[in-house]
Structure 1
Amino acid sequence: MQKIKISKRFITWVLLIGSALLMFVFVACTSGNQTPSQAPEKITIAYQPGMNYANLLIVKEQQILERQFPQTQFQWQELSNGAAIRDGIIANQIQVGASGPGAFLVGWDKGVGWKILASLNYSEFWLITKNPNIKSIKDFKPGMKIGLPSLDGVQAIVLRKLAQKDLGSPTALDENLQVIAHPLGLQSLLTGQIDAHFTTPPFEFQEVEKGGRVIIKSSDIFGKTSIASLFATEKFYNQYPEFGKALYTAIVDATKLVNEKPDEAARILSQMDRGKVSQEQYKKWLTNKAVAYGIEPRAFLKCGAFMHEIGMLNKQPKSIDELILPPLKGVGGD
């Protein structure tokens, strides 16, 4: 049998090529693990009742995110107030939450680590009563109840600002406050179980239609205010920046739709409600002069300064840049 001679040079080349192939396979496998995913396997987005979230609800109804991230399971959850949403963010049960500046700033102050992805809505919110003896906040007596969604929400901040000015103390009405979700507050006002209700569209419109009188408008206190905005933790955004940018873009597009094509927006919202509220009614609400939508954060610094002044915050933001995520850089806000 003839012996085959293999040179040392050949063996060296084989070993080098083999090592290179192994290294290529190793890098290919490990680099896939190091690249961040576009979105997690599951995302919960929480919001509250009312017209303030119309642009977000359009994103939900049209399944814009579901189509863009088909491998992600989306859960949409309606909660009664911003404090509940904040608790869900802290517990990592909610990844994106929609709320007002009060609950957000309390969480920011306590180190929740969340920031603003986009504002949603600037609508006025009104304090409404059916009691003929109540003309202003000076007429509230002990035992009279003022319904609002939470004790650190923007409604409570506005009341404390007025109480400081008109009653001499920001906490003068605190004993009158009763936490109640907007829909239940509507029914409680109409049936006389509470004396006043500090609420948002469309509930304030429905209360006025049923004989309620407006005694406070939020715009008279803090001016143009982001009553609803989208928040996420900075950690979550940095882990999934592609999802964060996609959600921001979806909100921008939905906001433009609401502002420029209210008929189409109303049709989508009515479809979402399975016709319980007509397209015509939604359009009437969307085009009411008290309703406005936009992505620029407004009045966070004013609210933060007042909340710090009365001891609700240990620190106050000096610039909107302290509070926003990258998509809002350069957009503006205050």
Structure 2
Amino acid sequence: MMVSRKILVTMTLMALAITSAAQAEVSKVRVSRQFGLPYLPMIVIEDRHLLEKNAKAAGLEVTVEWSQRAGPAADLDALLAGQADFIGPGIPTLATVWDKTVGTPQEVRALIAMQSMPYVLVTRNPAIKTIADFTDKDKIALPAVKLTGHAIALEMEAAKVWGADQYNKLDSITITRSHADAAAALMSNQSEIDAHFASAPFYYYELATPGIHQVLKSYDTLGAKHTNGVLLTAKKFHDANPKLCAAVVAAFEEADAFIKAHPREAAQIYLDVTKDKIALDQLEKMVADPDVDYTTTPINLMKIVDFMHEVGRIKKKPASWKDLFFPEAHGLNGS
């Protein structure tokens, strides 16, 4: 009888251990980010260990592995291959991957938005005042042709200028370059690149360079502020790690509040982490720019997604922005 009881107790403990293991959340989180001020919340989270802090408050002990890849396409490949848990691309990447994976085991959605921030098209060609002035002799650098918000904003503006059927009129003169490489090429005046659809802080650098001027701001194209970047994760990872995902949301909310309350300190953190050489006073002004809003709420996201559906870039049309996001964001006043 005693032996039977020991066996029963042992089996019960084993069952509990198996159940506990099945419910255990990950102990290491892998986050991949790109370059520039759109990723300031991630940089603040990394520097101040906000993800570890909020995970611990939820009863989790985690380590965070930060990485940088060549571009949004490389980030997405890493996410789909299970080599990254969170990435921070633009809206077109979200719409594209959702369109291809929704309802499949590889489904990907956004957890939150990361910020609202414009894309700014600049050029050193004095003849170009609007996009109608571009010719086949010009080259517009983008972080990724057709895939990024910069590329879609250019197509949306082209549709406004030449008509919906001519939305891709300028695609043939766009080329893929990182923001850093594109800015260096444009400012050097030694490259075929004579225009750059840029994110911050790069368009600030470029516009401070003699001979470079602004052609277009994406806020004007869309008629309002819009989300620039979103935080993506796989549904499988999200569903297996509910406490961690809640901690991630809390970490971003804390980072956003810190940036708004302490723009100078946030700017210093950016410089410390990125080793950028810009003056602190100048960077602080960029962080506090009224055009920039570090928020987890998606803003005018559907204007971009609807356009992508209209031109056939995605096949499925989400009924609302909530279809693209996990439930953690559904209580926000998004659009």
Q: Normalization by structure 2: what TM-score? A: 0.89
Structure 1: runs of 5+ lacking an equivalent:
1-14
Partner of 2:180: 183
**1:267: how far off?**
3.1
Asked if 1:79 is matched to 2:69, the reply is yes
Partner of 2:13: 28
Per-residue Cα deviation, 1:277-310 (whole angstroms, up to 9, x for no partner)? 4543331210122222110012222111110110
Partner of 1:7: none
Amino acid at match of 2:225: K
Give 1:81-160 correspondences, 5 Å limit: 81-111=71-101, 112-151=106-145, 152-160=147-155
Partner of 2:220: 220
Tell me if the contact between 1:127 and 1:196 (Cα under 8 Å) persists in the aligned partners. yes
**1:136: how far off?**
0.9
Q: Normalization by structure 1: what TM-score? A: 0.89
Asked if 1:288 is matched to 2:285, the reply is no
Q: Which has the larger radius of gyration?
A: 1
Amino acid at match of 1:98: G
Amino acid at match of 2:181: L
Amino acid at match of 2:272: Q
Tell me if the contact between 2:120 and 2:198 (Cα under 8 Å) persists in the aligned partners. yes
Give 1:144-293 correspondences, 5 Å limit: 144-151=138-145, 152-168=147-163, 169-192=166-189, 193=191, 194-211=193-210, 212-222=212-222, 223-273=224-274, 276-293=277-294
Change (3 A) 1:202 1:33: same
* Bigger mean CA offset, 77-86 vs 147-156: 77-86
Change (3 A) 1:263 1:190: closer
| RMSD across aligned positions (CA) | 2.0
Asked if 1:306 is matched to 2:307, the reply is yes
Give the whole-Å Cα distance in 2 for the aligned partners of 1:106 and 1:138: 28
Partner of 1:58: 44
Give the whole-Å Cα distance in 1 for the aligned partners of 2:282 and 2:24: 38
Give the whole-Å Cα distance in 2 for the aligned partners of 1:196 and 1:275: 22
**1:332: how far off?**
2.6
Tell me if the contact between 1:258 and 1:265 (Cα under 8 Å) persists in the aligned partners. yes
Question: How many equivalent pairs are there?
Answer: 319
Give the whole-Å Cα distance in 2 for the aligned partners of 1:38 and 1:331: 29
Partner of 1:9: none
Change (3 A) 1:201 1:38: farther
**1:66: how far off?**
4.1
